[in-house]
Each structure stands twice: as C-alpha cells, then as structure tokens.
Structure 1
Amino acid sequence: MSRRSRRRAPAERGVVEIEDLASNARGVGHVDGKAVFVADTLPGERVLYRPTKRKPRFDEASLETLFSASATRTTPRCKHFGVCGGCALQHADAAAQIEFKQSQLMDALERVGKVRPETVLAPLSDARWGYRRRARLGVKYVPKKGGTLVGFRERGAPFIALLERCEVLVESVGTRLTELARMIDTLSIRQRLPQIEVAAADNAVALVLRVLDSPTEADRAQLAAFGQTHGFSIYLQPGNEDTIEPLSLDAPALYYELPAYDVRLYFRPNDFVQIHAGINRAMVDQALSLLQLDHDDTVLELFAGLGNFSLPMARTARRVITVEGEGGLVERARDNARANGLDNIEAHVANLFEPPATAAWTTGPVDKVLIDPPRSGALEVLDQVAATGARRIVYCSCHPATLARDAGELVGRLGYRLTHAGVMDMFPHTAHIESMAVFERTGS
C-alpha cells in the first residue's frame, strides 16, 4: 500500500439544523440519528459543517457556512474569537448567553438531582467586557511568529494564541498584551518565562511572572521600568507559590472593597478572589439577602477563603464560624477581620473533603449556613451541615452538575427543600456557569 493510499480521506461536509447548545456552548444537531457538535453555532441555525473528529456516537465539527442565522447572533467584539480558547459565546447576544446558562442549570438540577426550585432567581449580570480581574496567561518565545506570545491557549490546541489584545481582561492588561510581549522579548530569560498571573485589585494591578531562571540586573531594570510606565506591580515566582515576591519592596498591599458593608479585604496576588468584581458585589448582596440574617443568628460558612462572605455577614449576625482548608487563607481572613474591626468571627482550618467528626463546628447549633465550594462540590460535608440543625442554606456553585448532585442529597435524604436557584454571569462570553441555590429545612 502506498503512503498516499494510507492517508485519511478528507472529512465529508454536511448540513445540519442546530437544535440546542451543549454544556461547552457548541451547537448540537443530528444527522441520521447521530449527534453533531458544531462550534460557533446557535439554536435554530442551519449550517454547513466540516467534521474535525469522528466518534461512534457523535461527531465534532467546525462551522463552514451559515445558511440561516439565529436572531440572537451578534458580531464578536474580539478579532481573535474562534482562535483563542478564552471565550466560547461572543457570537451570542447577552440575553441568549444568560438563557443558555439558566437552561443548563435547570437541566442539571432536574436530570442529576431530580429536583426543581420553587422559585427561579433573576440572573445576576454586570459588565460584560474588561471584567476579568484574575487570569493565567501563557507565555512562549516563538521567533517564527515574531517573538514572544502572551495570551490564552488556542481553542482545542496546546499552543498560545497570537493575541493583540483581550476584550475580557481588565483593560490595563487586555490592551497591552503586545507591549508586554515586546518587553519580554528584551529579557535574557525570555525562553524561561512560561506564565504570567494577572491579579487586579481596587488599588493596583499585579503581574506575577513565573521565572525558571533568575533574571539579570538588566532584566530587573526592564521589568521595573515596564511596571512603572504602565502602573503594574511586578512579582517574580521562581518556584512554588510560596516563592512569590514583589520586584520592588514598595509594592502596595492588594485589596478590594465591598462598600455596602464597609469592608476592605487584603489579598496576595496568588490568592483566590472572584473573577468579576461587579458580580461578586451582587453575589454577596444576594446571598446575605437570601440568608435572611438577623442579629441573633449564628452562621456557619464553609470554604470561606479570605472572608468575602464572612466579613459582610459579621456586620449583622451575632456570630460567624468559618472553615477553610488552606491555612494561609485562614490567616489572611483573620487579619482581614481584625483590620475591619470585627471580633465575632471564629476561623478554623480543616479539610472539608475529609471533614473531622468531632470538631466543634460540626455539632451546631447553627441557624444559617453558607457554602461556596470548588468545582468538586460539597458532598463530603453535607451530613455535617444537616447535623448543625441549620434552618437555611445558601449554596454558591461554580459547577451545575455538582450543585445538582448535592441538591439531590439535601432534598432527597437530608430533609431540605430547594426554594430558590439561579445563575450569576461571573464569566460573560464563556460557557462557565456560576449559580446560587437556597435550601430550607422541611417544616421551617
């Protein structure tokens, strides 16, 4: 058999009607009973597609020709949309994006958790561009592409996309990717600098450069000059996260504020903070409203982090008990409580995926609970939550499937009912879904 005959034949193009959006925001239709997932398409559209990957039960495909467009289709603002993997929904208008996310949440609750909320919360939305205050950017020196590339990975590929700007990053960074790349070109360690973390605070923007070799004095001078020119605080990370240090000793302490609660939270550039400042403020407001706090309440917060919820709650509640698995975050949460004049918060360190059976916070009594877990959810700690006797639980989720799973446990086994659920558009133009749900003890 010749080499030519062994080559795969070109994939046959086909026409499909897009019926819905999958969880990754690709349009899905069916051809001869087989599902076809087509990127950059919307429900109601008729398209010519080209298969990119064939599997027994479904095909993945790219969009070749749009025969009929959805009324919700819009022109992407970013010229790199479709190449850069950072966004998946810029071709859909704001209302369609919210509808997709709300639909995904409700579908997960019904399909996975076998539950429906009594009330669907109105979606939380805010700024749709320049909102992203935390990001991890890849860096790669590629002479054939003109030098250093700085940005997100290409869609469906491990390569860093060649970006001139990013429309969802905070403007001070998103509009300066080219300048940042050209500055890195001048460094002696340009081939030993694989990553930059962005952390935008209310008072400063930090860039944390992962450096595999020590920068020279000339490199440090270049970095300092770039930071001074553009208003960035430059940090270097030669090893793990514990090695992060500011390039300059006069780097300001980073903070963000929640003015409605007279709270200022200090954080380090590698600490977790919510991506979207506007949605975070709305999220805290909604969570506290739904908790229905009063001055006699004892509140338990799990996965408490820096105090994003606990400090505002402490302005009203009699007592707030917090639990977080990362000791460094607990220390900073305690510092934040002291800095804000709050002495009614008890902060504990514990692995909530292997919760201790005898810790004081596991036995109650507790009036209200707030849970804000990572993508893996809070399954391991739900029995302890129920054992506290809490009348009301507010659950903030960053993954609909694990929220749905946990909702099924709370409703089906632990004596709660799902009263409210709805989405928060923390990541506009992406398929990422943040949501909030409220559970009340049956008979409360």
Structure 2
Amino acid sequence: MTRLHADGLSTMNYFSTQRILSIDVFRGITIFAMVFANELAGISDVPQWMKHLPADVDGMTFVDLIFPAFLFIVGMSIPFATQARLTRNEPPFDIFKHILLRSFGLIVIGVFMVNAESGYDTSAMPIPIALWTLLMFGCVLLIWSHYPRHVPVAIKRGFPIAGIIGLVMLQAIYHNPQGGGMTPQWWGILGLIGWAYLIAASLYLLALKADNALQQALLIMAAIAGLMLLFAMIDAVEWFATPTWSWLDDNKNGFTHAAIVLAGTLLAQLVYHPSLPGKGFGKIGGYALLALAAALVSWQFSPISKIWATPSWALFSIFYCSVIFALIYWITEIRQQQRWCQLFEPAAVNPLLVYILPFILLALSALTGFYLRPALFNAGTAGILWSLGFACAMLAIGALLTRAGLRVKL
C-alpha cells in the first residue's frame, strides 16, 4: 500500500529502487553514439546523414537525435532517482537541493569544457591550453568522483575541496582574446543538459503533489506542452528580442530541451508506475504514436532544426526515442535477450566518465604532440570504422577504470 510523505509525496511503491536494464541499455547506447559522433565530426568525406544538418535545413539526421536521446534518458531516470530519495524519507526541499547541485555541476563542467575548446588566448595564459584542459578534468574527477566507503574521510572531504580550489585557479588564469576571462558561450552539451534537468526535475517534483499517478502524468504532459508553447511564444514575439529580454530569447532552447527530458519522465511514469494498468510494450507503442501525431502537426508550423531546438524537432526526437526504447524493451524485458547488454554496461553505469574520456585523451595528445588518429583514417569509410573502433575503445577503458573503482557521479 502506498504511504505518503508529510509533504504529500509518495515514499513507497511508486517505482522500483533497483536499476532497470532497458533504461541502462538505452543510456549506454546513447553514450556510445555520442562518443562515436564526436569522433566522426573530425572525419571528412562521410555521408550527410552522418553529420549534423545546418540550422536552416528542415530535417534531422541520426546525429541530430543523439543529444535529445540523452535528454530523454535523463528524464526516464528522474522518477527512479526521486523515489530512492523519498524512500529514505528525504524531504522535498532536500531533493530540490540535490537537483540544484547536480544541475550546477553539469553547468560548471559544460562551461569549462566549452572554454577549453575555443575562445582562449594561449599567449596570455601561463600554461598551454592542453595542460589547462587536463588540469580541469583532473579537478572534475577530484570533485565528482564517487569515493568508496573504505576511503578515509579526510580524502573524501579533502579531494573535492582541492578540486574546487583548482577550478577557481584555472578560471583565474584563463584569458580570452578580448582581455577577459571565461564566458558561458553556449553552455556546452553538459551545461544544456544541466539547465534542462533543473527545469524538468523541478516540475516533476511539483507534479508529485497530485493525488495519484494518472493526475501526475497529466500534469507532466501539460508541462511538456507548456514548455513548447513558451518556446514558440518567445520565438514569435519580437518584444523578447529587445535588450531587456534578450537573455530569455538567447536561452529559449532550454525550454524544448526540458520538454524532451520531461517526455522521458512521462514515458517512465506510464510504463513503470505500478498503479497504471496496461502492458508496458503496448503503452510505449501508444506513446510513440501520440508523439508522432504531435510532431506531424507541429511540423506544419515550425521547421525541424536541432540548432534552433524547434518544437517539431523535439517532438520527432521524442517519437524516435520512444521507438528505440520500445525495441530495447522488447529485446531485454520481453524476449529476455540480455547477454549483449554487457557491451554497454560501462557507459550505462559510469556515463560521465566515458563521455569525458575522449576529451582527456585529446588534450593529452595535444600536450605530447602525438596525433592519436593516423592520417589513413581521416576520411571516408576508414574514418567511419576508426570512429566505431574508437567508441568501443572508450567503452573498454571506461570498463577498466570502473572496475578499478573510478566512478564519476553528480
């Protein structure tokens, strides 16, 4: 029987506190695809469907689906993570503080990564940008690594403090060509995920105030629609382009990003909430059809563009993510074909580490002068095969580091 928290939130029998294999596999495949696409971006002479489409082209490739897939899987994890904290009787305000801290961490890492990639003036900095980047990732590992219980308390507390001090010092010595320091630029992938997670997880926490699972699902659906309408309104009304409100116009993409996160949350609610009737696979199929219908309607009013984060792009992304998840769900939970899932386990349980590994290797390569990718693999089919092999290698290295006890967790 469901028990309610003092603040009206459920603490029992909402979602399992155990890991869900199909969600883990989806996360692992998405991280693998991210690493593959990032490496492929440096390869020339590859088919257009393996590259991002320009902002003004009405359409999307599979590469344009990778980022929203990660947003979607972040959303699917929210109900389970929230349930685990409610089960430990954490008050909603403490859960919200955790959401804030997690979002802040993603935004900080995203901003540092963006500034490591561009906008710097090496001549005005005391150390090469490659060394600056390596030290930055070292600080990230010190702050956000998960330390086992047997590690002394002094290390658990001291290392994160050292990492924070290190980031502050790295920010202080950073210079851009205009004579200033670090700037947000475009927040970076992790920063965009952080903002979207902050909005979506906060709205989900509010939805838990509803009396039952169906009402919560309806509130989540209303929030998804509201976020997309908010984006459309800001995009259409010229008033938001004025200097006073330009910051909102510049960051309106965050609303559709948050809508994708909430769409993942809604699917998890429909499929895994024990009080909602129906078979999981059928509900995923119905959800995908509803998303497709909404996408086709939205397409009549706005073009599909990942760069502009249009509602039609978001809705088509939700549809494709639902179809992919339906396939994974069918294979892993209905057919019980699960041995192959071990391939994606490192990226599933330690996604942030696997994601940043290539950037660490790239910085190390630049610092040592050793070019990691041979010239033979810089173009065409050879480059595509290299990118696939590189992504597999990152999973293997991630697996070894995970077994060695290195876990990065916000």
TM-score normalised according to structure 2 size: 0.26
Looking at secondary structure, tell me which structure has more strand per residue: 1
TM-score normalised according to structure 1 size: 0.24
- Greater relative CO, 1 or 2 (CA 8 Å, sep 6+): 2
